[in-house]
Amino acid sequence: MTGELDIIVPVREGAANESLRYALRSWAVNLPHRRVWLVGYRPPWADNVEHIPTRQTGTKYRNTTAAMRTVCEHPEVSDTFLWANDDFFTMRRQESMPVYHRGPVRDVEAYYATRGNGAYLRGLRETRDLLVSLGHEDPLSYELHLMLPVSKAGMLNALEIGRHLDVLHKRSFYGNLEKIGGTQMRDVKVLHRAPRTFDTSTPFLSTMPDSFTNGAVGRFIRDAFPQPCRYEARRRR
């Protein structure tokens, strides 16, 4: 049951993080859960949350991997938890968090190959190749901007097997090793600020910093959750 699970959020150092404020509001209203843990940085306005400080001296990939390992080794975190980002918004009531995937990695690779050859694409390919070598001939991608239910033991096993990859696609590697299945869906991240370039009926949304601050999607999210929640010490909109 999702209501018995903790929500885990890696948070970068130093940000005011208004997107996190509204993500917390959305979860408080729409997603039953046990506790929220912020891993890394804790904004001064955050209240009634658990906090695990971590060093953030590496790349964003290494930082989130370190955060994931720390969470999985923490005795007070629920054995299965929901792995989130600070810009994941639950827009409609969910009694539990389903498992979703993005389809075959080969299709996701084809999409990102049109956008350059950076570290993310290299990590995707290396993660795919490692999965294929382990017998997962056509692995699925779980690299969606949605919460993912994660078992601590399963993720620790995935991190150990993939420890030699510096840009391990943790969600996909874990999801395939653990054979979690799920339902395919399109990614919900809204990249641009242009008005109405997103589905207002979707149960989930995610944003970029600019689209949240300056875009129609950010206004839509802020209008949906105008009231402070139990995770805010400063009662302001």
Summarize pLDDT for 205-221 with one digit per residue, the tens: 999 999 999 999 999 99
Question: CB of 123 within 8 A of CB of 168?
Answer: yes
What residues does each domain of the chain span? Answer: 2-92+100-186
Pairing between β-strand 36-40 and β-strand 100-101 as defined by DSSP bridges: unpaired
Give me the residue label for tokens 């007070």: 76
Percentage of residues in the chain with pLDDT exceeding 70? 96
Q: Closest Cα partner for 134 from 100, 178, 81, 187?
A: 178
What pLDDT score does 57 carry?
Answer: 80
* 35-73 confidence digits (pLDDT tens): 999 999 999 999 999 999 988 888 888 899 999 999 999
Pick the CATH number of 2-92+100-186 from 3.90.550, 3.20.20, 1.10.3470, 3.40.1350: 3.90.550
Opening angle at CA 93, ends 89 and 99, nearest 5: 70
